[in-house]
């Protein structure tokens, strides 16, 4: 459980950190108004390389203080990372009642086809938004992403000659 304002500060901190690294190109994630005991956090973060992070978080309102401050707890989430024009690369989801009993991850190939999925049993392995942006950044800098996008790796240069 966390104060909503603190949750927002943490969120802004993640965005600021990755903007300072020049990884985030734009961010339109917004916090919705309280409704039916929940606050929805939704939008997309666009990153270098045409990578997009679609964010959906459902915050349950646990309590409200006298001054209007709220305490919330994330009760559901979905982080989907895709490459513009190609499709999904990985997605992390919270528990789906009636579908999945555990948080879980899906991985996709460069054409966006599902290649694996697995449950996350250790609560310490459940990602937050900062983890997802970091994982997306690491993927951007990976040899795999460079190869898929036709970029030359350092090993492709001989004595500084690019020809």
Cβ-count burial 82-118 (b if 16+ within 10 Å, e if not):
bbeeeebbbbbbbbeeeeeeebbbbebeeeeeeeeee
Secondary structure class of 76 (helix, strand, coil): strand
The tens digit of pLDDT for each residue in 92-133 reads: 999 977 778 899 999 999 999 999 999 999 999 999 999 999
pLDDT of residue 162: 46
Q: Could you state, in order of their start, the residue ranges of all structural domains in the chain?
A: 2-148
Lowest mean pLDDT among 2-16, 42-56, 72-86, 145-159: 145-159
- d(CA 67, CA 65) in angstroms, rounded, equals 5
């Amino acid at each position: 459980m966390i104060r909503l304002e603190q949750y927002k500060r943490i969120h802004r901190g993640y965005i600021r950190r990755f903007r300072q690294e020049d990884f985030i190109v734009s961010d339109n994630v917004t916090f919705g108004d309280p409704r039916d005991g929940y606050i929805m956090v939704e939008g997309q973060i666009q990153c270098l390389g045409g990578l997009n992070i679609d964010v959906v978080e459902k915050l349950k309102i646990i309590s409200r203080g006298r001054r209007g401050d709220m305490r919330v707890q994330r009760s559901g989430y979905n982080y989907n990372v895709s490459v513009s024009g190609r499709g999904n690369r990985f997605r992390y989801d919270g528990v789906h009642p009636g579908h999945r009993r555990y948080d879980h991850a899906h991985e996709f190939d460069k054409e966006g086809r599902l290649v694996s999925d697995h449950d996350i049993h250790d609560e310490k392995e459940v990602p937050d938004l900062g983890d997802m942006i970091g994982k997306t950044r690491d993927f951007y800098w990976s040899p795999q992403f460079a190869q898929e996008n036709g970029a030359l790796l350092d090993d492709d240069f001989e004595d500084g000659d690019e020809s």
